[in-house]
Amino acid sequence: MHIEDGWLSAARRVASPHCDERPAGEVSAIVVHSMSLPAGHFGGPWIEALFAGDLDTRAHPDLGDLDGVRVSAHLVIRRDGALLQFVSFAGRAWHAGQSDYGGRTAWNDFSIGIELEGTDTNPFTGPQYAALNGVIEACVAAYGITGDWIVGHSDIAPGRKTDPGQGFDWTRVRQA
Phi (first) and psi of residue 152, to 5 degrees: -95, 160
Question: Sign of the C-alpha dihedral, residues 156, 111, 126, 119?
Answer: positive
- What are the CA-CA distances from residue 49 to residues 14, 86, 92, 146 (Å)? 10, 11, 19, 32
Residue 143's nearest CA partner among 51, 22, 34, 33 is 22
Class of domain 3-175: alpha beta
Predicted confidence (pLDDT) at residue 94 exceeds the cutoff of 90: yes
pLDDT for residue 158: 94
**Cut 0.85: pTM above it:** yes
Res 175 pLDDT > 90: no
User: Per-domain residue ranges for the chain?
Assistant: 3-175
CA angle 19, 154, 150 (to 5 degrees): 70
Per-residue pLDDT at 25 exceeds 90: yes
The pLDDT assigned to 172 comes to 94
**pLDDT given for residue 164 in this prediction:** 97
Q: List active site positions.
A: 115
Q: How confident is the model over 103-116, as a mean pLDDT?
A: 98
pLDDT at 156 exceeding the cut of 90: yes
